[in-house]
Homo-oligomer: A and B are copies of this chain.
Amino acid sequence: MTNPRSKPSLTSAQDRFIATWGQMGSTWGISRTMAEVHALLFISGRALCTDDVMERLEISRGNASMSLRALVDWGVVHRAHKRGDRKEYFEAAGDVWTMLQAILRERMKREIHPALASLAEIRDETRTTGEGVDEHNQRLDDMIALLRLFDEMGSKLLALDAQVMKETAETLVGGMDFQSGSPAS
């Protein structure tokens, strides 16, 4: 067991899960390591301490500490304690829907809201100064409308509790089979 890479055995599937999740996170603006730490906590299904994470993922203490803290800030992981143990433990939200909401909330806050604010400001300025061609303003308005729509959908999803959200999602998918004008490509 000294070298876990030597055979594709017990830990292999878990390793691959972690790698896949890390990969996915990195195309989503989350650092690879942070996503890997989250994957590890999520798939472990129990609270781990910093040293566990360091050892399992072969990362430095500093990196583990930073990543764990960021995950806590995002709200997808929470701190836990074991009595008689001074170490801090960390545990992922057990339920994917809760996890999804935490991610959604954070991304809305960090991306949609600032972008919306910025775009609205630009539009106002453009209006006030009479600057810009009508066509440009139209495009700006479209963009703003789209982001606002995201914003509203996000807010509504965040207002649901996890169980209701799950059901809603399933209903939406089920009910969305209205025939369209053009077929999928």
A interface list, Cβ under 8 A from B: 10, 13-14, 16-17, 20-21, 23-24, 26-29, 42-45, 94-97, 100, 105, 110-111, 115, 118-119, 122, 125-126, 131-133, 135-136, 139-140, 142-143, 145-146, 149, 152-153, 155-156, 158-161, 163-164, 168-170, 172-173, 176-178, 180-185
Contacts and interface: CB of A to CB of B under 8 A. Distances in A.
A24 B177 CA distance: 32
A13 B136 CA distance: 11
A contacts with B: majority SS: helix
A173 B152 contact: yes
Contact of A158 (B96, B110, B184): B184
Contacts of A156: 173, 176-177
Nearest to A153: B173
Instruction: List the 8 closest pairs (A to B, CB-CB), nearest first.
Output: A159-B184, A27-B29, A161-B181, A160-B180, A20-B118, A161-B182, A156-B176, A96-B142
A43 to B, nearest CB: 6
Contact of A29 (B28, B122, B152): B28
